Amino acid sequence: MRQRTFAGAAAALAVILLLPLSVLAQATDATVDGTVTNQAGAPLPAAAVQVRNLSTGFSARVAADANGNFVIRQLPLGGPYEIVASALGFTPERRTGFELNLGDRISFDFRLGEGLDELAEILVEAEDVQTRIERFGASRALSRGEIARLPTPDRNFTNLAALSPQMGPALSIGGSRRMSTNVTVDGANARRSLTGGDIAGGPFTLSMEAIREFEVSTNNYDVTQGRQGGGGINAVTRAGSNVFTGSAFTYHRNNSLRASQDFQGRDLADFTTTQWGFSLGGPLIRDRLHFFTAFDRQDQTIPRFINDLSTPGQEQQLRISRENFDRVIRVVEQQYGMPSMRHAGEFTRNTGANAVFARLDYQINPNHTLTFRNNYTDWTNPIAGSGDQTLSLMESIWNFTSRENSSLLSLRSSLGTNFTNELKLQYQYGSREFELPVGKIPRAFVRVDSTLDDGTPVTTNVQFGGHRWAPEVNEEQYIQIANTSWWYRGDYSFVFGFDVMPMYMKNWISNEQGGLFRFDSLDDLEQRQPSSYFRQHVLNPDPFQRYWVLDSGIFGQVEFQPHQDLRAQVGLRWDVTSFLTRPDYNPLVERELGFRTDVAPTDYTGFQPRAQLTWDVGGRTRDIVRVGGGAFKSHPPYFIHMNNTLNTGLQVGTLNLDRRRGDEIPDPDFEAFRRDTSNNPGIPAGTPLENLPPPFIHGIRDDYRLPTTWKANASYNRLWSNRLRTGVNLLYSRTVNNYHYFDANLRAEPFFTTDPDNRPVWVPSETIDPRNGRTSMIFSRRSDRIDHAMVFNNEGSLRQLGAILEAEWQLTDDGGSISGSYTWNRTEDTTSFNCCQWTTALHNPITRDPRRLEWAPSDNDFNHKVVLSGIAPLPAGFTLTTTYIGQSGRPFSLLVSGDIDGTGSSNNDLAFIFDPNDPATPAHLAEGMRNAIDRARPNVARYLRENAGTRATRNGIRNEFIHTLNSRLEKRFTLQDTRSVDLTLDVYNLLNLLNSDWGGVHNFGGNRRLLQVTGFDPEEGQFQYRINEAVGEVPLTGDVYQIQLGLRVSF
């Protein structure tokens, strides 16, 4: 099946190549330039300049222009290199001993003497901070030496991105969404376009052994940087050389190498993590054909705590008594057919991950070099997921497997003395499977009210049965073809090219398709009396959705020097994204709500002008000023187009039954559902379309536009020597057309408003259950013939302001260095929705109408960040490496537990903060607020006191500052020749090793519920509440210290 899909994609490619084209980020961006003059300083036009990698035989040759200038771009990383300048009648000159790293620009000025003397040779000193002048204020790069030495718990290079001053949580850059971060390997796509992030589902995107360097690019205005509104992560892989090299390694952690108890005083279970593998590279044909291969394996046996109610503190956090939790289990086992199993406490998970990498480099002749590389990863991860509620029984927890493969073919060609071309072709495949032991049986949510031993009333939901969206299968296939050309003409250097990437998605998304029963109480559960039933019933026997998306565009750029101390770069790129698969047309939706379901938009508005100027003040290579700005397009999660093709009302029927409306709720016969899921209550087979219940609809605006980020920065860097640099960087960005979902079937105006904060309610008061205050969005519809009608739009916005102070100091020639940065960042947006379902978008906390988005701190705002890293070679072959990252916690909101506005989401209504000192506040609420403030952590208590008598704001509170200190001590034993043995000792969370109370954090995570709805007074039109007095309490959590021992043999 996969081969037929690939063949179809290849056939489609011939047509797609005729469409507008897009860009591929550069892979190495390493440049050598300079001048060739005689001893008097006069230029030597047509002088020959040849650069050669002495370890691989690669060479490139150019001719100096009329002014004696030359540029050689896009050189392979590595070395040592030599560069030779020669001219007829002059003594040739050679510089040797330098290496090229990612983003380097090394300049050489040759002054040739007359005569035919023997070749003059000059040894170039070790690399220094001057080679990355073009990247100052634009990116953070890590060399091979840093990658090999920095402590990294899971050997995933994307985690090293946290060392970037602008990197926030979950691959967010500068507070932008995760989808705005591009990920590339060797300049080719490695991003998961379906949901964002890197393509790999497991701990490895790529073996760390296979990475030569990697870079986090944030403010690089080169038009070859694409698909990255926030920024990009690019890794460059290793290649073989004329010398056989290899390594074998193993790293191990277990329970005897860590703290015996967690931060809450619980004994920790046994665990083991073993990582092992090898690498091997060398020549197949000297100076012509080289290979490199690497293998990485991780085996883990790790504990996981689920529904842990072992202490009163855990009961408080999970908001249920152990007695009532046990009662739920007993009822479900006795009346709902659930097999007897353990549902609470500690569980053991056994995971396994593999990464296999291979690369071949073939220098066909001096003008053409062909490279092929293949990268494969997989992961098996049982008991990986969770249910839809905080408390979910074990049968609702899914297992996960993934596998990915990418194959890249690249041809670099020197076409003439001043023209370089690189052609790339990649095929990439990714698959993720979410497996549920019970299959697609209905879910059930049970509302449970408990009174804890200290008298605190608490409420929560417990889930059993199936899962909202598991089982699920996602497959992505990409074909990417790109061509980039570099042309040097006189004083101008041009870059232009194209890239096109058709993507084929095949998904089985079983979202809401098993069904959902709701029980309003434990008594209702025992009496088998659900209050509602909801199901998305698939009408099409084929459960898979198949669709195509095309990313494409073209670009061009010119670089020149308007003054000898200035380097200017101006470019334009044009991106086009096309949703090629058109959903079915449902005339009912257009007739009732005025929009079409068969929209497959193409965005032709992706013009992105960019410019940057680098000023070497006085030409002394001491004071460097760099300013730049431009536009960047980023993409939505293509998961949304699956939603559009699936939910037109023709493939899936919606069954939404509610007891308050008088509907007859099906019998919750879970024993029958477990025997055969065809017994799940649904729409009778053969029901005519006109008789189907109101359908659930997804759509997209026909004028949809991709998010566009306009960003600018200005940086100043002082080079105190060729080893020491300090700098300051000021940043600003503004994103428009950020995506979100609105419900087109929500009535225009609310039915009434309710005090104390004049909150709008979109359902009639007589439909609200007075016993518990539960609403039903059924009564908020514009059209009774349609359920939710979620339309994907681009109404969101984001703005970011930041400042960075940074320094780096290269201490020694053998890799000793120290670097540090401080970042002040403020990111605000109108919605932080990243992916993937409408339900997540509706969780955006609101004050009034959910369609009127309001500015507030972004979920991804990190406010303050400090990064320190150092590598210190010590006597006797020891090396000490340390990294510290201190970062503000993510912001969060205080909510109401319940859908009090009737819009269909119980996770988005901001809570009113009752003032305990206001005489108008009911006594039980005043007492509850006083208790909540007294018990809360300082950050929450301060917010409650300062905002009493007002409605909470979105992301008004911030989690506590997080400190992460990791360290590695390495001892190298050098054997004969190039062979060595390294022993390593890594300590993760060193702070916790130094003091058992350090290294954890009181982390509230996401939003917290301040108010619990207890009822509704229909005469007064007022909801009744109870204060969650534990809203500001959270235990000290985090990973305790772990020690990892490692052994590495290299030759």
Whole-number pLDDT of residue 8: 42
Whole-number pLDDT of residue 812: 87
pLDDT of 21 above 80: no
Helix 923-935 to helix 938-946 angle (10° resolution) is 140
Residue 1033 maps to a domain: no
Confidence tier at 829 by pLDDT (50, 70, 90)? very high
* Average confidence (pLDDT) over 889-893: 96
Whole-number pLDDT of residue 11: 39
Residue 293 maps to a domain: no
User: Which one has a higher pLDDT value, 20 or 692?
Assistant: 692
% of the chain at pLDDT higher than 70? 96
Confidence tier at 118 by pLDDT (50, 70, 90)? low
CA quadruple 17, 23, 25, 28: dihedral, nearest 10: 70
Residue 476 maps to a domain: no
**pLDDT tens per residue, range 232-285:** 999 999 999 999 999 999 999 999 999 989 898 888 888 999 999 999 999 999
For residue 826, list its beta bridge partners.
Answer: 801
Whole-number pLDDT of residue 17: 36
Whole-number pLDDT of residue 316: 85
Kindly list the strands in the beta sheet with 1022-1027, ordered across the sheet, starting from the edge strand earlier in the chain: 894-897, 1008-1017, 1022-1027
Q: What are the C-alpha distances in Å from 830 to residues 174, 225, 800, 916, 953?
A: 16, 26, 12, 31, 12
Residue 150 maps to a domain: no
Residue 37 maps to a domain: yes
Q: How many residues does the chain have?
A: 1051
Report the half-sphere exposure of 954 (CA within 13 A, side-chain side). 24
Whole-number pLDDT of residue 128: 66
* Average confidence (pLDDT) over 620-627: 94
132 and 107 Cβ atoms separated by less than 8 Å: no
pLDDT of 925 above 50: yes
793 and 701 Cβ atoms separated by less than 8 Å: yes
Phi, psi dihedral angles at 789 (to 5 degrees): -130, 90
User: Which one has a higher pLDDT value, 334 or 13?
Assistant: 334
pLDDT of 117 above 70: no
**pLDDT tens per residue, range 895-916:** 999 899 999 888 899 999 999 9
CATH of the domain at 46: 2.60.40.1120
* Average confidence (pLDDT) over 755-764: 93
pLDDT of 12 above 70: no
Whole-number pLDDT of residue 544: 87
Q: Which two tokens stand for residue 344?
A: 């609470």
Confidence tier at 540 by pLDDT (50, 70, 90)? confident
Whole-number pLDDT of residue 27: 54
Residue 73 maps to a domain: yes
Q: Which two tokens stand for residue 995?
A: 């003091």
**pLDDT tens per residue, range 367-402:** 999 999 999 999 999 999 888 888 999 999 999 999
pLDDT of 22 above 70: no
Burial 977-999 (b: 16+ CB within 10 A, else e): eeebebebebbbbbbbbeeeeeb
Q: How far apart are CA 653 and CA 647, in angstroms?
A: 9
Domain residues for 109?
31-139
pLDDT of 412 above 70: yes
Biggest CA-to-CA distance, the chain: 106
pLDDT of 939 above 70: yes
- DSSP 8-state assignment for residue 22: B
Q: Which two tokens stand for residue 380?
A: 């098996």
- DSSP 8-state assignment for residue 503: E
- Closest of 205, 210, 232 to residue 219, by C-alpha: 232
* Average confidence (pLDDT) over 995-1000: 94
Residue 44 maps to a domain: yes
pLDDT of 16 above 80: no
What average pLDDT is seen over the chain?
91
Q: How far apart are CA 20 and CA 500, in angstroms?
A: 8
∠ CA 867-871-874, rounded to 5°: 145
Whole-number pLDDT of residue 25: 38
Residue 52 maps to a domain: yes
Confidence tier at 630 by pLDDT (50, 70, 90)? very high
Confidence tier at 125 by pLDDT (50, 70, 90)? low
What's the domain count of the chain? 1
* Average confidence (pLDDT) over 924-947: 97
**pLDDT tens per residue, range 36-81:** 999 999 999 999 999 999 999 999 999 999 999 999 988 998 889 9
Least confident of 220-234, 684-698, 798-812: 684-698
630 and 711 Cβ atoms separated by less than 8 Å: yes
Count of CB atoms situated within 10 Å of the CB of 1: 7
pLDDT of 6 above 50: no
pLDDT of 1022 above 60: yes
Give me the numbers of helices (H) and strands (E) for the chain, helices first please: 12, 50
**pLDDT tens per residue, range 320-344:** 999 999 999 999 999 999 999 999 8
Phi, psi dihedral angles at 940 (to 5 degrees): -75, -40
From the centroid of its chain, how far is CA 328? 37
Q: How far apart are CA 23 and CA 422, in angstroms?
A: 12
Whose structure tokens read 């609403």? 775
Whose structure tokens read 């406010």? 863
Whole-number pLDDT of residue 303: 85
Whole-number pLDDT of residue 490: 83
**pLDDT tens per residue, range 711-724:** 999 999 999 998 99
For residue 760, list its beta bridge partners.
Answer: 753
